[in-house]
Amino acid sequence: MAAPKFIASAIVVLLIRSEFLFSYANDAGKKCTRSELEALLNFREGLVDPEHRLLSWKGNYCCQWHGIGCDNSTGAVNKIDLHNPYPLSYGHDQPGRYGFWNLSGEIRPSLLKLKSLTYFDLSYNTFTENKVPEFIGFLRNLRYLNLSTAGFSGRIPQSIGNLSRLQYLDVSSNFGSLNVQTLEWLTKIRYLKHLKMTNVDLSHVGPNWWEMLNNLTSLTMLHLSSCGLSTLSRVDLPALSDLDLSMNSFDSKFPDWVLNLTRLSSIDLSNCGFYGRVPLSLGELQNLRYLSLAINNKLTASCTQLFKGSWPKIEVLDFASNKLHGKIPAAIGNMTSLTSLDLFDNNVEGGIPGSIGKLCNLKFLSISGNNMTGSLPEVLEGVDTCVSNSPMPNLEKLWLTNNKLVGRLPEWVGQLGNLEELELDYNQLHGSIRTSLGRLQRLTSLGLGRNKFNGTLPESFGQLSELTNFDVSFNDLSGIVSEAHFLKLSKLTILHLSSNSLILHLKDDWIPPFQVRNLDLGSCQVGPFFPNWLKTQKNINFLDLSNASISDSIPFWFWDMTFNLSLLNISLNQIHGQLPSLLDVAPFADVDLSSNLFEGPIPLPSVEVELFYLSFNKFSGVIPYNIGKIMPNLNFLSLASNRLSGEIPSSIGEMVLLEVIDLLNNSLIGSIPPSIGNCLYLKALDLGYNNLSGVIPQSFGNLHFLQSLHLDDNNFSGELPSSLKNLSHLETMDLANNKFSGDIPPWLADHLTALKILSLRSNSFSGRIPTNFPGLSNLQVLDLALNNLSGMIPTNLGNLIAMSKDRIVNQYRFYGVYRGIYYKERLFIYIEGRFLQYTKTLSLVAYMDLSKNSLHGRFPVELTRLIGLVFLNLSRNQIGGSLPENISSLVQLGSLDLSSNKFSGVIPSSVSSLTFLSSLNMSNNNFSGRIPVGGQMTTFGGSSFSGNPNLCGPPLAVNCGSDSSDNRTPLPNDVKAESDDDKWFPLSIGLGFAIGILVPSMIMWIRRPWGDAYFNFVESVVHRIERVKTKTAQITVTYTRRARRPS
């Protein structure tokens, strides 16, 4: 720091000395009057001058003092200019609002003795907690007054209205610390030309403030940005050339009177709440050079029409964050004076016209965040009209991120010699990355992430010596990345190569030329060894090595460099070993060590963190008792799928900001601490697959934002507490495989109306199914299997709205989203004796399982209204009667299990039209007659119909009566049975496969959202065909952490 401070001090001395010499040359020999000298010295005594700016204020020649000017003829003091030329902290270690050359203190009224004072500037200093002095309004000869951003607070004195000769007034404020109650005093300053009141609170001046200003007919500049104004009628100031009313809340149509101010050269009406159409005649304002209508959000115009205007002198156009639409016309190339065009966050479509090549003066072009679907022009027009005969020779920033641009990078992009920032992220550009980009020597930021670029990473990028930000993440790049790619990147601070197929082949002793702050190598092949070159990086605060093929242990030196990390993500590797007991990371960091092979006790961070994700490891022991005290501001806690034991510590309730608690699949014991009820912002709580016991705490009723609750596969008991009725946002309640008892409370349907998933499977609930369940209009999964329920199936279950939709859009359900990490909803569906876990396609599942209870009565015909139902299981009950003929209305049904009941009568022939059906079990009933043929029925084996002594026909070996009228010589029984079997299976397989695949495929061509779910069923059909001889269906379980209890 010594060198910068020395340089800064030297600059100060040179500036003072040069100003002194200049002043001396003009004012040599001039003395102030005794009165003026005393006035200035008294003024100086009231100031705090830590940088000694006023060191020259001594002697009798005050006209030579720094910041003082005198009249050339009389020698009277007419100017005080003590503005801070360095308004931002520069070369100064001491904390302060401005730092370098900063004045503070009080403004003394001795200045009133300076009768000839015409110029007074104290801007950009720090007179904090001082009011604007009342006496300033009595410096009657002032023509220039600038007190802007000088820390003054309170009300601006109306006495300033006495300054009738004032032409320039700037009282802009710091963050609204100044205010006025009326603008009437301004009407007295009739010669005023420049008025700036930025950030002054004008919210109390009344709706007719503009009438006061219209009296200032000489006004050429009006800046009232961020003043809390809410009304705007008509500003009629014919001389006005510079208008800034930005960041107010007018909430009105665009003011047409602006078009009458024909001398306007600069208009800033950004962030004003304007709506409606942008007047096309803005393009005809002959003097207009600067126009900003950004961040109005509701202003609309057709780009094709808007940019066809003449715009004769326009240099800056800013329409960011509005609703401009249509294509950019070729006429844009006629705005040859244009230096900046910002169309960020609109609805611009199409491609970029080649005529932009005519914009030789363009420095900044942003069309990010639109719906651009075309490609970059292959050739630019008018390049020969530019002085250098090169494409857009002055372009410094090209931002086209977050569109749908396609095609390859054209050659001219690599010829933009002055380009500093190239941002093309989040598009659909493809092909190889041009090596010519490596010749853009001024490039500081290169963003090519989230595209479809393929091929290798050009080594020429290693020549970009000014590059600080390098992002090619989420592409299809492959090949080797070596030291040559980083050869001259000494200024690199951000490096993102993640989610490619790149292989980092770097020598173990390589010393990078850079010191990066942000390093993302996720899903690149970094391993198998932990990268040794990381030890040279001293400034990293963001590190992502997830899914990097590392199968090493973490070296000791690594923990000496983590103290600065705000993100540590080494998940999805095979890193092994034991972690230090304290993880030394930056305060409020995100720590993701999930999906590795770490073992030993759970480590704790040395400071507060906000995300702590250690799931899918081999950690053992207990959850630290003080975990809540160490991380009171934690947002996301996941310790799932480890080997943890012991009880859940009560201190977990001290993490009151938690949105996710995931302790799934451990060996935790004891009861749930009631303190969890203190986590008022909790959205997902997963305690499934443990050995927890006891009752659900009443304090759960405090969790008003809870959306997902999993207590499945534990030993909980008792009745459901009535406090759960407060969980009005709850979408998933999974209490399966516990020992809960009592009746299913009717308040579930009355109060938990957001429920989409309700699983009370395998408990000891008794009584009847509540008849008010149809009130759960969002319910897609109802699993009440393996309980002691009795009575009949309520007929009004056929009114469940979510199960009645024939088209469901897949929506990935996740909760507690926090910086890209979230809790993924999960549910096990029981089919044919196997559990399938659903996560990403869970929203497609419409499932009802009432099996293994004591239900009786008939199959409610009303259930056939549930046309969106995919799984239906009523097995192992005492349900009788015949099946409704219109069971074929369940057109999405993929699995139907009615086994072990008392059904009778003929199986409706319409069952064969259920084209999605891949699992069917009607065994152990009293069905009779011929088994329907055709469609999916030909793909099911005899086990689907066994135990029905009065059924006949394929696939059973029992012939129906009309099948035996054959006069041919009979074969022996054993041969005949085998022969019939051999004849039927090829036919059933071929016909069933054709119908079961081709017909649904045609249906899904029309109804695509069911594709994911359907092909899961196709997979099970293929398994059935492979094993049809042995009648053993196998279903692939894609993800199972632990086998469920036997049912």
pLDDT score recorded for residue 233: 85
Q: Hey, is 331 helix, strand or coil?
A: helix
Residue 137, pLDDT above cutoff 90: yes
Confidence tier at 900 by pLDDT (50, 70, 90): very high
Percentage with pLDDT > 70 across the chain: 86
**Whole-number Å distance between alpha carbons of 261 and 259:** 6
CA of 574: how far to CAs of 497, 547, 593, in Å? 20, 9, 11
**Whole-number Å distance between alpha carbons of 457 and 486:** 11
Residue 424, pLDDT above cutoff 90: yes
**Whole-number Å distance between alpha carbons of 844 and 685:** 23
- Phi-psi region for residue 856, left (φ > 0), alpha (ψ -120 to 50) or beta? beta
**Cβ neighbour number for residue 304 with a 10 Å cutoff:** 16
pLDDT score recorded for residue 828: 83
The H or E element spanning position 993 is helix 973-1006
Average pLDDT over residues 890-917: 95
Average pLDDT over residues 338-366: 97
Residue 94 C-alpha from the chain's centroid: 37
CA of 845: how far to CAs of 772, 872, 911, in Å? 22, 11, 21
pLDDT score recorded for residue 811: 59
Q: How confident is the model over 945-967, as pLDDT tens digits?
A: 999 999 999 999 999 876 543 33
Residue 1029, pLDDT above cutoff 50: no
Give backbone dihedrals phi and psi of 366, rounded to 5 degrees, phi first: -130, 120
Cβ contact 1025:996 at 8 Å: no
Name the one residue in this structure whose structure tokens are 């993800």: 1039
Residue 507, pLDDT above cutoff 50: yes
Confidence tier at 705 by pLDDT (50, 70, 90): very high
- Burial of 89 per CB tally in 10 Å (0-12, 13-18, 19+): middle
Confidence tier at 975 by pLDDT (50, 70, 90): very low
Confidence tier at 809 by pLDDT (50, 70, 90): low
| Choice among 125-139, 941-955, 998-1012 with the minimum mean pLDDT | 998-1012
Q: How confident is the model over 298-312, as pLDDT tens digits?
A: 999 999 999 998 999
Residue 18, pLDDT above cutoff 70: no
Q: How confident is the model over 69-78, as pLDDT tens digits?
A: 999 989 999 9
Q: What residue ranges in 439-564 does DSSP mark as E strands?
A: 445-447, 452-455, 469-471, 476-481, 494-496, 501-504, 518-520, 542-544
pLDDT score recorded for residue 176: 81
Pairing of strands 788-792, 764-768: parallel
pLDDT score recorded for residue 87: 73
Q: How confident is the model over 209-225, as pLDDT tens digits?
A: 988 999 999 999 999 99
Q: How confident is the model over 810-835, as pLDDT tens digits?
A: 555 667 666 778 788 888 888 777 88
pLDDT score recorded for residue 974: 35
pLDDT score recorded for residue 1007: 36
pLDDT score recorded for residue 808: 59
Pairing of strands 854-858, 871-873: unpaired
238-405: CATH topology is: 3.80.10
pLDDT score recorded for residue 961: 79
pLDDT score recorded for residue 101: 75
pLDDT score recorded for residue 833: 77
Q: How confident is the model over 933-943, as pLDDT tens digits?
A: 988 898 999 99
**Whole-number Å distance between alpha carbons of 747 and 300:** 49
pLDDT score recorded for residue 818: 64
Delimit the domains of the chain by residue range. Answer: 238-405
pLDDT score recorded for residue 88: 59
Residue 994, pLDDT above cutoff 70: no
Residue of 464, 471, 415 whose CA lies nearest to 448: 471
Sign of the torsion formed by the C-alpha atoms of 164, 166, 167 and 171: negative
Average pLDDT over residues 404-413: 96
pLDDT score recorded for residue 234: 86
Residue 247 C-alpha from the chain's centroid: 25
**What residues does 68 pair with on adjacent strands?**
80
Residue 639, pLDDT above cutoff 50: yes
Cβ contact 946:916 at 8 Å: no
**Which is higher by pLDDT, 63 or 1015?**
63
